[in-house]
Structure 1
């Protein structure tokens, strides 16, 4: 069964200060005729700075701005949205490098509907995760979520319903997963993107789980392009290690990571939400 995971906002506090003390010593040397005095300044090695204390994590309340949003949403935060894949189907074999993701939404929604507010750029949405890469947000279920330049081989898609501040819904039907195989896929030297250009996977580790011969053959046509892109700066939140997500066993415990993502500055770093989906297991506080 899937565990219901409580949201945690955590505050990371860095404690301790490094104090460096610089000492200067003076020595006077007079020669035999007393005509010259030389003053030498000696700086001894600086004392080693004490190591800063280890960061500590603590559970804190939701930020006030989140509480205000919740108050304006009525019963939406008590909803139990249910998702289902229309495309791709579990175990599908797909020819070509473009994948259209289609979902249906049902359940006790209490007004919950994915959409983006043009003024704020926020709104209810679905988190879509390709293989083991960071998610992208899907706001309009009336239109397919298009994946472009998907590479050949096995892939996994995971989805779950989310609030505007990226807190996921933890009811059992919110999370869904499918595996599929692409034949004649895209260019492994280029990233997999959405129709609007958001990076879903950088593909630099696309051959990590292939047999050596298959990986060599896949790399050969794209070697020059890959070398040209080797020094490009990675997109924030997308520089991920090789993934074995294509071989996920859906019957075993699985943690699907969601937040934090990217860089937090200013007030946004005061309380950071840790959010993930846990399948086929329970946390200790929930009976695990």
Structure 2
């Protein structure tokens, strides 16, 4: 039955997030996303509308939400072999942009950006495409880089050409006991540094992972949100968002469904490729899984 046909992730997706209560206290900031999680009692999540703050931003942005960005990976090239542990990432943005341009507002520290994902790790936001973006201490082996443009509230653009994926191989790579970072110091991958005493950055407290062989012609989910820590108004509701490749969901005229599981709760289903906002989160640590 079509109702029982789900998208199987080519890359396993599991992310952790914190909901911080009024006190702002975190009980266990170093627990990994794949460890046992005891969900808060009596949590009853419901599907909600996008928050008013997001609706206001959409209105203020004019035509930008109707943009159809066409993103290209200039480097690394598909199949590139890189000698050394530093990988430069260069992107080119074209298409019907309607004013869309990645940029971080210095006052709000938010803005349009591109989600950059290496292997099966959480994304890092790339705001200024004219400035260098480097992956440092990349370990030897085959890697996958995925990119797609996003809005200030991290909702991805889902038009054709917005998503790109390349694979590359690193020889003579970095120190596997240390994380892979960007040139600005943001963690891109934990490698084998999961036992480090340093508190992980936003959404990066995950076990080391390599993408392995990825078939770009098969159905695939690229996880995006939620990740990291949510406080105050940002914690209710919270958005689930992802990029869907080579498949159509039932509500969009296709034959697939996406199943998502929060903590150890009963599975829920997504039939249209659009963000899902969930309300009713309780303070504590949660895991989100898509399949």
Distance 1:243 1:92 in 2: 20
Q: Partners in 2 of 1:52 and 1:123 — Cα distance?
A: 35
2:158, 2:174 → 1: CA distance? 34
**Shift in Å, 1:71:** 1.0
RMSD between superposed Cα atoms in Å: 1.9
Q: Which runs of 5+ in 2 are unaligned?
A: 1-6, 8-39, 256-291
Following the alignment from structure 2 to structure 1, what is the Cα–Cα distance between the partners of residues 206 and 213?
Answer: 17
How far apart are the structure 1 equivalents of 2:199 and 2:145? Answer: 26
Contact 1:160 1:174 in 2 (8 A): yes
Q: Name segments (4+ residues, structure 1) moved above 3 Å.
A: 229-236
Matches within 5 A, 1:116-155: 116-155=104-143
Alignment of 1:167-206 (within 5 A): 167-204=155-192
**CA contact under 8 A between 2:180 and 2:187: conserved in structure 1?**
yes
1:240 deviates by: 1.9
Matched position secondary structure for 2:154: coil
Residue 200 of structure 2 corresponds to which residue in structure 1? Answer: 234
1:100 aligned to which of 71, 88, 92 = 88
Contact 2:191/2:209 (CA < 8 Å) preserved in 1? no
1:280 — aligned with what?
246
Q: Give the conservation status (yes or no) of the 8 Å contact 1:179–1:246.
A: no
Do the aligned residues in 2 keep the contact of 1:148 with 1:195 (CA within 8 Å)?
A: yes
| Residues 64 and 98, structure 2, Cα contact 8 Å, conserved in 1 | yes
The structure with the larger Rg is: 1
Pair 1:256-2:222 in alignment: yes
- Would you say how many aligned residue pairs link Structure 1 and Structure 2? 216
Measured in 2, the distance between the counterparts of 1:269 and 1:254 equals: 28
TM-score, L = length of structure 2: 0.70
3-state DSSP class of the match of 1:126? strand
Structure 1 runs not aligned, ≥5 long: 4-50, 205-225
CA distance in 2 between partners of 1:187 and 1:52 (Å):
42
Secondary structure at the counterpart of residue 121 of structure 1: coil
Give the Cα–Cα distance (whole angstroms) in 1 for the partners of residues 182 and 250 of structure 2.
37
Q: Which has the higher helix share?
A: 1
Aligned-pair distance for 1:232?
Answer: 4.0
Distance apart, 1:82 and its partner CA: 0.6
User: SS at 1:85's partner residue?
Assistant: strand
TM-score w.r.t. the length of structure 1 is 0.71
Helix, strand or coil at the partner of 1:68:
helix
- What secondary structure does 1:86 align onto? strand
